[in-house]
Amino acid sequence: MAVQSEPVRAKSPGAGVGADAPKGVRPSAGPGLLSRSTPYLLLLPAVVATLALLCWPLVETVILSFQNLNKRQLILHQTEWNGFKNYTDQLTSSEFWHTTGRSVAFTALNVALIMVFGTLVGLLLDRLGKRMRLALQIALMLAWAMPFVAQTTVFTWLFDSRYGVVNWFLDKLGWHSMAAYNWYSSQLSTFFVIMLLLVWGSIPFVAFNMYAALTTIPKELYEAARLDGAGSYKVFTSVIFPTLKPFFLGTTFLEVIWIFKCFTQVYAINAGGPQRLTETLPVYAFIEGMGNQHYGVGAAIAVLTILMLSVLMSYYFRIIIKQEDEL
């Protein structure tokens, strides 16, 4: 779709071109019922899987959200409907709104950092000499390929209060009060570690894409801009940014969605602590639902999260469709 920039498309030729069947395709040959149903037979496994494994849990989440379902009802297999109570409870609870605000701020800050630094790293990759570029690419790939749980354990170790290398380093820099600092004792410092972890792990994706996109901007565009006396900043705002606008848009939205619903890193760093102060919406839904065994409440929070995601997605799809029209 239009998310990827023209240049990125060039990397794997023809990707995305097939949105509309190429002209002159034989309408699935032959008059027979069998051949007319061939496309549906080929799609059948994918459709069945989607219905059973994606739609069913989605529908089930909605159904559960209207039930008073706690440990007791779960064990006794009871179904107790309680209408919109889970929703009204959440929507009138300050904890829910705090968590929502925290989630939004957390997403905004992280995505901003990831996009700005990812773009800068991508631009840098384009300027570096061959050897230095390879070194940076390998370093980025190491961070990128690390599984989330492994990332989290490593960051926990880096920020360990007694033997963590970060505390040692800060102490060496002359910040002696940090020598035995416990990063997981306060909300802000825990968030700082999570943020650093997410930014560290997410920049490579943006940087690689940015670099791939950059390599395909025609050189003449740069030269024309330089002849007009444009500096680096001007080249970026007048050539790179407008050309790669679809790329920036697409990547930003992907990051928004990934960060907003990210669970593993936030949960695995400190399980939402201290005092539940680092819970984002998915973690909140999980801890209320599975941890405190208020399954119905957890499902309601999940539905509210999904609604927020859908609003984001519809906004995103509208932009895509608009862009398609402009092309």
Site for other proteins in 131-160 (CB under 8 A): 132-133, 135-136, 138-151, 153-158, 160
Instruction: Decide whether 73 or 187 has the Cβ nearer to other proteins.
Output: 73
**CA–CA gap between residue 78 and residue 70 (Å, rounded):** 10
Name residues contacting other proteins, limited to 68-107 (CB under 8 A): none
DSSP three-state, residue 55: helix
CB 144 within 8 A of CB 118: no
Q: Minimum distance from CB of 73 to other proteins (Å)?
A: 11
Both structure tokens of 18 = 């097939």
Region of 86-94, 106-114, 234-242, 283-291 interacting with other proteins (CB under 8 A): 283-291
Region of 79-87, 88-96, 124-132, 184-192 interacting with other proteins (CB under 8 A): 124-132
Q: Minimum distance from CB of 191 to other proteins (Å)?
A: 18
Region of 25-33, 81-89, 94-102, 234-242 interacting with other proteins (CB under 8 A): 25-33
Name residues contacting other proteins, limited to 164-223 (CB under 8 A): 165, 168, 200, 203-205, 208-209, 212
Q: What is the DSSP letter of 292?
A: S
Q: What is the DSSP letter of 77?
A: T
Instruction: Decide whether 105 or 165 has the Cβ nearer to other proteins.
Output: 165
Rounded to whole angstroms, what are the CA distances from 173 to 61, 155, 168, 198?
51, 20, 9, 25
* Interface map 220-249 toward other proteins (x if CB under 8 A): ---------------------------x--
Contacts 24+ apart (CB under 8 A), 285-293: 293/70, 293/71, 293/74
Task: Identify the CA nearest to 157 among candidates 183, 132, 133.
Answer: 183
Name residues contacting other proteins, limited to 32-51 (CB under 8 A): 38-40, 42-43, 45-47, 49-50
**CA–CA gap between residue 268 and residue 272 (Å, rounded):** 8
CB 69 within 8 A of CB 52: no
Q: Is 311 in the site for other proteins (CB under 8 A)?
A: no
**CA–CA gap between residue 237 and residue 245 (Å, rounded):** 11
Q: Is 22 in the site for other proteins (CB under 8 A)?
A: yes
Identify the residue among 114, 193, 198, 262 touching other proteins (CB under 8 A): 262
